[in-house]
Amino acid sequence: MAFLYQWRERGWGTCCGASASGGCRCGRAVPSRTSRPRRRIKNFADLVTACIPARARGKPIELWWQDEARVGQQGTLTRIWAARGTRPRAPRDQRYDWAYLFGAVCPARDCGAALVLPKADAETMTLHLAEIARTVRPGCHAVVVLDGAGWHKTGGRLRVPDNISLLKLPPYSPELNPVENVWQFLRGNWLSNRVFDTYDDIVDACCDAWNALAAEPGRIRSFRNQSLGSGQSVTPLVLVGSSAAPIL
């Protein structure tokens, strides 16, 4: 009989040393060291409103989430199926070639935009923003939520298209970005436990994985963010103000 080989992670512990199955003798449950409270973005609608320029007021707003993932010959080990009591094996390359998968998703539209590039800097980020801008529907304005990586900073070599505004996530908060779930899904299904002989093989694997993701109806929509706080969601979200339009 086979089962999913994985590490089990406790969600709650007990405060007086009793077993988890028998319950806590004092009746109080406390978080264990492996549990982390879910972080949420407070006043998200206000943050979106503040980053939209005056020229985009009154236009429908598309909410996009962006991130980058490095995919290389070193690879990533993930969960696999194995017989009970065995120690499953997986290939592990010792070479160091890699590529960067730039990905962005709009869960409300169930669509994405991605590029596979040899490096991550302001120049390649500009190319990805241009790709996102081409995917935004005509007449709409996109708010792209991303982390604080150095190549995401404006004012230097980074060029932001006119139909895009950037909104930075709080520092050290990757769990707020649903694209992290996209990377986990791609690695768990296409990009892990493999050996890539050349750089072109890495590029081809990234393209095949992203195209398979985009071709599955409803998959990108399933990654919509659940960390926007109580009473907030990705859709529908309406900006505050008389000139605001619904966020798509």
Stated pTM of the model:
0.75
Contact between 143 and 48 (Cβ < 8 Å): yes
pLDDT in tens, 114-150: 999 999 999 999 999 999 999 999 999 999 999 999 9
pLDDT at 9: 32
Domains of the chain, CATH where assigned: 11-38 (no CATH), 41-81+89-247 (3.30.420.10)
Q: Where are the alpha helices (DSSP H) in the chain?
A: 44-51, 122-135, 179-186, 199-215
Report phi then psi at 35, rounded to 5: -95, 145
Could you tell me which residue, 40 or 196, shows the higher pLDDT?
196
Give the CB-side neighbour count of residue 236, counting CA atoms within 13 A. 6
pLDDT at 15 over 80: no
* Rounded Cα gap, residues 238 and 87, in angstroms: 51
Report phi then psi at 144, rounded to 5: -100, 115
Q: CA 204, 207, 208, 211: dihedral to nearest 10 degrees? A: -160
